[in-house]
C-alpha cells in the first residue's frame, strides 16, 4: 500500500483570524514532519496555484513533486486535484490524502490515518479534524446530530494508537480516502462545490447517503423581508441554489445502500485548522507549533 499526499497551496493570505503562531511555512513543515513518520511508501505532490514564496517552494521541491496550476479559486483547484488519482493511474488499493495549506498536523497524524485504514475495513474516507457524529435516531431524510461531540460516549468508537476513531458526520476539504473510493465518487466530489456555502459538509453528507439540505437551506441565505426590491442577481442565485441543492438531496437519498460511504475521525483530533476560534480542543497547539519549529530547524542543519 502507498500513500499519496496532494497539497493545494497558494502564495497569498486571506483575512481569517489566525492564532499568533500561524504561518504557512509552519503548516507546511508540520505536514512534512507527518509524512516523515508514515510507515509506508509515500509520494507528495504540491499543486501550487500561482507563485509561492521561495522559502516554501524550496521546502516543497526537496520533499516531492511541484505541480504548478492556474485555477484561480479554491473551488477550481479542489476540483482539479480530484482528477489526479484517475489521470495518473494510481492503484485502487492505495490511499490519497488531500491537504490544504493552513493546517497544523501532529507528528502522528498521517500514520494515524494509515493505521485506521488498515484496521477499519468499513471506512472509506478519513479525516483528522472533525467534531460531529450522527445521533442514534438519525435517518437518511432526518440526519440528526448527536449532542455529544467526537467519540464522547460512543461505544462503537475503536481505539487505534492514542486516538478513538468514530463515524463522523463531515470533514473539511482536508481529508483522505482509498483511491478506489475517489475514482467511484469523482463525479459527485467534483460537482458538489457548486452548491455553495459549506460544500465540504454537504459533500460528506451526500456520499454517506444523508440529505444534505433541509427545506429552509435550499435557497441559501433568506432574503431580507425588509428589502423591498431584491436584486435580480440575488434572486437568480437563490433559484440556482435551490436547483443544485435540491438535486444533491435527490442524489444522496437515491444512493444505494451498498455504495453509502463511511467517514471516520479520531478523538483527539490529530490536526487543526489554523483559525482562531476553531482550533481543535484537547491539544496544546502552540506547543505543537514550537515542536514543529524545532523539527524544522533540525531538518535544515
Look at residue 21 in the predicted model and tell me its pLDDT: 96
Q: What does the DSSP 8-state code read for residue 195?
A: G
Please state, as a whole number, how many other Cβ atoms lie within 10 Å of the Cβ of residue 62: 9
Cell match 447517503: residue?
209
Look at residue 109 in the predicted model and tell me its pLDDT: 98
Q: What is the DSSP string of 40-108?
A: S-EEEEEEEES---HHHHHHHHHHSEEEEE---SHHHHHHHHTTHHHHTT--TTSEEEEE-SSEEE-TT
Round to whole Å and give the CA distance between 66 and 123.
30
Domains, the chain: 3-197+259-300 (3.90.550), 216-254 (no CATH)
User: Considering only CA atoms, which of 142, 125, 122, 123 is closest in space to residue 134?
Assistant: 142
- Cβ pair 6, 253 in contact under 8 A: no
3-state DSSP assignment of residue 179: helix
Residues with Cβ within 8 Å of residue 225, at least 6 apart in sequence: none
Look at residue 226 in the predicted model and tell me its pLDDT: 53
CA angle 253, 175, 295 (to 5 degrees): 170
Tens place of pLDDT per residue across the chain (301 aa)? 999 999 999 988 888 899 999 999 999 999 999 999 999 999 999 999 999 999 999 999 999 999 999 999 999 999 999 999 999 999 999 999 999 999 999 999 999 999 999 999 999 999 999 999 999 999 999 999 999 999 999 999 999 999 999 999 999 999 999 999 999 999 999 999 999 989 999 999 999 999 999 988 888 765 455 555 557 677 778 888 999 999 999 999 999 999 999 999 999 999 999 999 999 999 999 999 999 999 999 988 7
Look at residue 195 in the predicted model and tell me its pLDDT: 94
Amino acid at each position: 500500500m502507498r500513500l499519496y499526499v496532494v497539497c493545494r497551496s497558494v502564495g497569498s493570505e486571506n483575512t481569517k483570524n489566525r492564532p499568533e503562531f500561524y504561518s504557512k511555512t509552519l503548516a507546511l513543515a508540520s505536514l512534512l514532519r507527518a509524512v516523515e513518520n508514515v510507515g509506508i511508501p509515500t509520494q507528495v505532490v504540491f499543486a501550487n496555484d500561482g507563485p509561492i514564496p521561495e522559502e516554501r517552494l524550496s521546502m516543497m521541491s526537496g520533499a516531492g513533486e511541484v505541480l504548478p496550476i492556474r485555477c484561480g479559486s479554491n473551488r477550481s483547484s479542489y476540483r482539479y486535484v480530484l482528477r489526479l488519482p484517475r489521470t495518473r493511474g494510481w492503484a485502487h488499493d492505495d490511499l490519497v490524502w488531500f491537504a490544504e495549506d493552513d493546517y497544523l498536523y501532529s507528528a502522528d497524524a498521517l500514520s494515524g490515518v494509515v493505521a485506521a485504514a488498515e484496521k477499519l475495513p468499513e471506512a472509506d474516507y478519513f479525516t483528522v479534524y472533525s467534531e460531529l457524529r450522527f445521533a442514534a435516531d438519525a435517518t437518511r431524510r432526518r440526519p440528526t446530530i448527536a449532542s455529544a461531540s467526537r467519540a464522547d460516549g460512543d461505544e462503537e468508537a475503536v481505539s487505534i494508537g492514542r486516538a478513538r476513531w468514530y463515524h463522523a458526520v463531515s470533514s473539511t476539504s482536508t481529508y483522505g480516502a482509498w483511491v478506489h473510493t475517489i475514482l467511484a465518487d469523482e463525479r459527485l466530489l467534483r460537482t458538489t462545490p457548486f452548491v455553495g456555502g459549506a460544500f465540504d459538509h454537504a459533500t460528506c453528507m451526500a456520499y454517506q447517503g444523508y440529505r444534505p439540505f433541509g427545506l429552509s437551506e435550499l435557497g441559501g441565505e433568506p432574503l431580507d423581508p425588509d428589502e423591498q426590491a431584491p436584486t435580480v442577481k440575488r434572486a437568480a442565485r437563490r433559484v440556482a441554489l435551490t436547483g443544485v441543492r435540491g438535486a444533491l438531496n435527490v442524489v444522496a437519498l437515491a444512493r444505494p445502500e451498498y455504495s453509502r460511504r463511511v467517514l471516520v475521525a479520531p478523538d483527539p483530533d490529530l490536526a487543526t485548522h489554523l483559525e482562531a476560534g476553531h482550533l481543535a480542543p484537547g491539544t496544546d497547539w502552540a506547543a505543537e507549533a514550537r515542536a514543529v519549529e524545532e523539527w524544522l530547524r533540525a531538518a535544515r542543519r
